[in-house]
């Protein structure tokens, strides 16, 4: 079950964290993975890691905020693969702030990556998937798409948009054999979290890590591999009856 042999997958922002885990998981299950990442060096490192484990991966430099960059990246995929089966829109950035102290430039930056980036890549993928009358798009949303989080105004705005884009794509293209879902993680322990704690709470990293972990009723943060396992299911043929849905992976946040 959940094998992806013969399938071509694009994972954006797969140079680290959740995207890296998804790329590695998909490749281990037989997919040929294209890693789209702004920093090609990071993408190349993950591709090399996959190759060392016997998988197939290709690194492509791509800025998801640029229509020209996205078009070029997908054209590179076209040259190497007959069709596109899976797109995982994982690339994203965070921001801390409320409506008063969020600068216009920060709002625009979050929108460009988290919303426009999903739009550009989904548009490019749908154009290709319609020709084959099959395909899966999975977007990385957040529990911020479903509940209010303090001091996450711009981030919540962007992830709310990801949720509604997911449902819009699912409705518009169900007749074309294209499924679209999103996952909504709570806090996941990634290098970003470690970097944030180091820069924001020097000397208090362990204390703040414990505090952030305790936010999840289950008592810890999630792991990138756990999110990747859910992504694998939703992108596999076993999930062929699922579209337009948002799947929390939150350690109990939405329950308690």
Distance CA 241, CA 256 (A): 29
Q: pLDDT for 179-226, tens place per residue?
A: 999 999 999 999 999 999 999 999 999 999 999 999 999 999 999 999
Owning domain of residue 15 = 8-186+222-249
Determine, yes or no, domain membership for 98: yes
Distance CA 185, CA 2 (A): 21
**Residues acting as catalytic residues:** 155
Q: pLDDT for 114-156, tens place per residue?
A: 999 999 999 999 999 999 999 999 999 999 999 999 999 999 9
Determine, yes or no, domain membership for 198: no
Helix/strand/coil (H, E, C) string of 124-139? HHHHHHHHHCCEEEEE
* Burial degree of 244 (CB within 10 A; 0-12, 13-18, 19+): middle
Q: Compute CA 211 distance to the chain's CA centroid, rounded to the nearest angstrom.
A: 25
The C-alpha angle 243, 229, 163, rounded to 5 degrees, equals 40
Distance CA 185, CA 21 (A): 14
Determine, yes or no, domain membership for 194: no
Query: Residue 104: CB partners within 8 Å, gap ≥ 6?
Result: none
**pLDDT reported for residue 30:** 98
CB 148 within 8 A of CB 126: no
Determine, yes or no, domain membership for 214: no
**pLDDT reported for residue 256:** 87
Give the H or E element holding residue 197: helix 191-200
* Burial degree of 225 (CB within 10 A; 0-12, 13-18, 19+): middle
**pLDDT at 35 exceeding the cut of 90:** yes
Determine, yes or no, domain membership for 123: yes
Helix then strand then coil, % of the chain, to nearest 5: 50, 15, 30
Determine, yes or no, domain membership for 112: yes
Q: Please tell me whether the overall predicted TM-score, pTM, comes out greater than 0.95 for this model.
A: yes
Q: Please give the tally of structural domains in the chain.
A: 1
Determine, yes or no, domain membership for 86: yes
**pLDDT reported for residue 110:** 98
The C-alpha angle 94, 96, 100, rounded to 5 degrees, equals 130
Distance CA 45, CA 23 (A): 12
Nearest to 142 by CA among 123, 161, 169, 121: 161
Mean pLDDT in residue range 149-169: 98
Determine, yes or no, domain membership for 26: yes
Cα Dmax for the chain: 55
Q: pLDDT for 74-114, tens place per residue?
A: 999 999 999 999 999 999 999 999 999 999 999 999 999 99
Q: What CATH number is associated with residue 147?
A: 3.40.50.720
């Amino acid at each position: 079950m959940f094998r992806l042999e013969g399938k071509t997958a694009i994972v954006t922002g797969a140079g680290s964290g959740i995207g890296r885990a998804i790329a590695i998981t998909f490749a281990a299950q037989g997919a040929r993975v294209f890693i789209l990442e702004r920093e090609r060096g990071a993408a190349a490192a993950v591709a090399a890691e996959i190759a060392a484990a016997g998988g197939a991966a290709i690194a492509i430099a791509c800025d998801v905020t640029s229509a020209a960059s996205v078009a070029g990246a997908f054209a590179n995929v076209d040259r190497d693969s007959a069709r596109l089966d899976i797109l995982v829109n994982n690339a994203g950035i965070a921001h801390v702030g409320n409506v008063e102290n969020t600068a216009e430039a920060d709002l625009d930056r979050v929108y460009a990556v988290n919303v426009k980036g999903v739009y550009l890549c989904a548009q490019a993928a749908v154009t290709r998937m319609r020709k084959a009358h099959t395909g899966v798009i999975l977007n990385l949303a957040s529990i911020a798409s479903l509940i209010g989080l303090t001091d996450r105004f711009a981030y919540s705005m962007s992830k709310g948009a990801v949720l509604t884009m997911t449902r819009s794509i699912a409705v518009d293209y169900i007749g074309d054999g294209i499924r679209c879902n999103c996952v909504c993680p709570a806090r996941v322990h990634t290098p970003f979290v470690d970097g944030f704690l180091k820069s924001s709470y020097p000397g208090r990293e362990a204390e703040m890590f414990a505090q952030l972990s305790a936010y999840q009723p289950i008592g810890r943060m999630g792991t990138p591999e756990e999110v990747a396992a859910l992504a694998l299911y939703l992108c596999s043929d076993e999930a062929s009856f699922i579209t337009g849905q948002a799947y929390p992976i939150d350690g109990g946040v939405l329950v308690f």
